[in-house]
Amino acid sequence: MDAGCPRLPDTVLFEIFLYLDHADVLSVGLVCQQWRAVARDEFLWKELFYRYYRVSRDVPRHPGAVSWYDEFQRLYDTIPCVEVQALKEHNDQVLHLSFSHSGCLFASCSKDCTVKIWSNELDISLQHSSNMRPYNWSYTQFSQFNSDDSLLLVSGVFVGPHNSSSGEIAVISMENFTLLSRVRNKPYDVFGCWLNETNLISGNLHRIGRITSCSVLWLNNAFQGIESENVNVVKRLFKIQNLNASTIRTVMVADCSRYDCPDLLLDYEEQLAASSTCPAFDLGSDSEEEEAKPKPPPEPAPQEPPGAGAVPAEQGLQQLFDDIMEGRVGPAMSETELETKVAELFVRSRTKPPEPNLLPTDGSSKTKYLIFTTGCLTYSPHQIGIKRILPHQMTTAGPVLGEERRSDEFFDSLDHVIDIHGHIIGMGLSPDHRYLYVNSRAWPRDCVISDPMQPPPIAEEIDLHVFDLKTMKEVKRALRAHRAYTPNEECFFIFLDVSRDFVASGAEDRHGYIWDRHYNICLAKLQHDNVVNSVAFSPVEQELLLTASDDTTIKVWRSPRAVRVRQARRPRPRKLLFSWLMNQKS
């Protein structure tokens, strides 16, 4: 082809031949002669798009696309699927990756018990490595930069027995890589997260019975060693009862104030309604953001407090005890069933009712959501809990145990619960915090859980669900392609990440995967030699993706377009060699 022709896959050229009825033409030059007409034929490119990418024809074109040809070009030229570098400085499984908000740095956590800080330049290089073994850590598992990239939260697991559930969170200064503070975190897979620039959330777990416990979520000041003599550095946020061996894990914070200016609306009807007010933007770069006119959200239906309209909990608990003593309970309850029944009755009379009007009504609201995995039937996480954090709760100022509580408000209730009906193994927020993506392995459709210590078998196929946090509804059919094989008791977290247009995830099948968020199609499989635990898009350049694996490597992936641009910027050795030879001859 001549220089004016775009670089298209052979399969696409063959589709063009068929469409133009030139399948018998062997010379590609004939297509180039007709290229001016072809490139502007929207009907042709629309047909090719739906056929080549196997997109359902009821899915409209991306709201930011100028033409079908541009969409075709975006999906084959801007996907980060070309491996450009492999980082091998870790000597054990790499578990997690996280970028700074500026995109200049990223951190990696590993079973080798180090957290490494990398500089994201033309070629990625190691800037610093912190060994956490002196603090009695077994390994590092998660990291997150605060909003101004001045601090790094690192979560790890303590050395202990095989069934030990204790962890710790460390805060590292990015100015000189010094350790500022350490906070206990139990269970370790709470991970922890930043609430704002200087305050982070950790967890603690108190056992009440064999399968009943209480999770307490704490707000911690990052500068504890410096400020603890003068002001409070910790404050209790929430205290939530856990039933049937479940616990709160995997906490994250969503900022409600960003919902009305989403980068990408996933509901096609909402896209259509917003299209008249949203200008087109360049889908190939992140330099511009889509502007959306804020709309007031629908008024949410009021939630009834637990047990509303039922027998008062105190009476129910007393009645249960009387029935047990007089032998009126039948069939005979097991010890586990009895503990769960008593805990359910107790929590009904000792729980603060949920916050009214969970959904934000003011686009400028400073309200944030605390999001976490939980459950009610078994120990494997199968529900997503959502709890509103009010502005006055976002500081450690005030009483350490929070606001004074009445005796009937001993526990906090959840403001909203999303049931996944499967084992949750990963969660991630879209950059605008509007959508929550959830990796899960489904239970059998009609399964019944009779023993909380024996959850149902889980599917090998991973479902990637999408929930709109503005409406609290699932908005897309589950994305599929990736797989996992470990059973319930060995199941581990597979981290996913979301950019403006793409979502990526690891998998146990030795691949990372990339999907298009709008079209719900899998675009690329990224090869490793072992389980892929984590993926991370650059927040400022979605054509750059990192993948971390049990094969001890971090792979760097760029789009074909980005590779061409980078190659154009590099000096060309052949030209330099040619110039040197010519000088030698003269």
pLDDT of residue 1: 42
Does domain 10-78 fall into CATH 1.20.1280?
yes
* Environment class of 333 (CB within 10 Å of its CB; exposed 0-12, middle 13-18, buried 19+): middle
DSSP tag of 189: G
Do the strands 496-498 and 502-505 form a parallel or antiparallel pair, or are they unpaired?
Answer: antiparallel
Q: Which amino acid is at 27?
A: S
The pLDDT of residue 492 is: 87
Q: Which amino acid is at 262?
A: P
Residues 220, 193 contacting (CB under 8 angstroms): no
Domain ranges across the chain: 10-78, 82-262+365-398+408-567
| Tokens read off for 494 | 């597979």
501 to 177, 263, 329: CA distances (angstroms): 33, 8, 57
Q: What is the DSSP string of 306-319?
A: TTTTS--HHHHHHH
For 82-262+365-398+408-567, CATH number out of 3.40.50.150, 2.130.10.10, 2.30.130.30, 1.20.140.10 equals 2.130.10.10
pLDDT tens track for 445-504 = 999 998 999 999 999 999 999 999 999 999 988 888 898 988 888 888 999 999 999 999
Q: What is the pLDDT of residue 414?
A: 93
The whole-angstrom separation of Cα 435 and Cα 453 is: 32
Number of continuous H segments (helices) and E segments (strands) in the chain: 11, 30
Tell how far CA 122 is from the center of its chain: 27
In the 8-state DSSP scheme, what is residue 149?
S
Look at residue 73 in the predicted model and tell me its pLDDT: 86
CA separation for the pair 486, 377 (Å, rounded) = 21
Name the helix (H) or strand (E) containing 118.
Answer: strand 114-119
pLDDT tens digits, residue range 349-395?
677 777 666 655 454 467 899 999 999 999 999 999 999 998 888 88
Closest CA to 514 of 531, 530, 501: 501
Pinpoint the alpha helices (H) of 190-334: 224-227, 268-274, 313-325
- Compute CA 462 distance to the chain's CA centroid, rounded to the nearest angstrom: 14
3-state SS of 428-494?
A: EECCCCCEEEEEEEECCCCCCCCCCCCCCCCCCEEEEEEEECCCCEEEEEEECCCECCCCHHHCCCC
What is the pLDDT at residue 10?
Answer: 55
pTM of the model: 0.83
* Terminal CA-CA length for the chain: 38
The tokens for 485 are: 């094989």
DSSP state of 304: P
In DSSP terms, 108 is beta-bridged to 97, 116
Per-residue pLDDT of the chain (586 residues; tens, 9 = 90+): 444 444 555 556 555 554 444 334 334 444 555 555 566 678 888 888 888 888 988 899 998 899 888 898 899 899 999 999 999 999 999 999 999 999 999 999 999 999 999 999 888 999 999 999 999 999 999 999 999 999 999 999 988 766 667 999 999 999 999 999 999 999 999 999 999 999 999 999 999 888 999 999 999 999 876 555 555 689 999 999 999 999 999 999 999 887 767 777 777 667 666 654 444 334 444 433 333 333 444 444 444 444 444 455 555 545 555 555 555 555 566 767 666 766 666 666 677 777 666 655 454 467 899 999 999 999 999 999 999 998 888 888 777 776 666 665 678 999 999 999 999 999 999 999 999 999 999 999 999 998 999 999 999 999 999 999 999 999 988 888 898 988 888 888 999 999 999 999 999 999 999 999 999 999 999 999 999 999 999 999 999 999 999 999 999 999 999 999 888 776 655 555 555 555 655 5
From the CA atom positions of the chain, what is the Rg in Å?
27
8 A C-beta contact, residue 117 and residue 109? no
**What's the token pair of residue 261?**
């200016």
How far is 564 from 78, CA to CA, in rounded Å? 11
141: DSSP letter: E
**Cα(519)–Cα(53) distance, integer angstroms:** 9
Residue 129 carries which side chain, given as an amino acid letter? S
